Amino acid sequence: MRALIQRVSSGTVRVDGEVVGQTGPGLVVLLGVAPDDTPADADFVADKCVNLRIFEDQDGKMNLSLAQIGGSMLVVSQFTLYADTAAGRRPSLSGAARPETAIPCYERFIEAVSRLGIPVQTGRFGAYMQLEIHNDGPVTMLVESKTK
């Protein structure tokens, strides 16, 4: 599982012009699922995203987590995080999980974040979405379950 996390002042996702999820201040998480990902991967990545110390403390140092600042999270499914661009000019997307695998892992990630006490909103899985992200810093990091 891959989570591209962005520290944001705000984030909004729209489907057909309708706001379906928003956050701020907190994190926008673009979440990709691999074919071999498990509920344990979702739990690991959720815990890492919630507890990673990437928010500034009173001294301006990145020393606080999302949980510590009382922030919220916007999660958007992003199968293109598993795009392979090594050969040719057309990315291969075969590294991403099919919906029957990806949806349960995506939902497990959201449930795990919620269980950790973080208000969480989402995009709409499989929909064409438009995101408005106000990256704060900018701070953008990649969290992967296979590196645990």
Would you name the residues annotated as active-site residues? 78-80
CB 4 within 8 A of CB 139: no
**What is the sign of the dihedral through the CA atoms of 113, 17, 102 and 104?**
positive
Strands annotated E in 33-119 = 55-56, 62-64, 72-77
Cβ neighbours of 96 (radius 10 Å)? 22
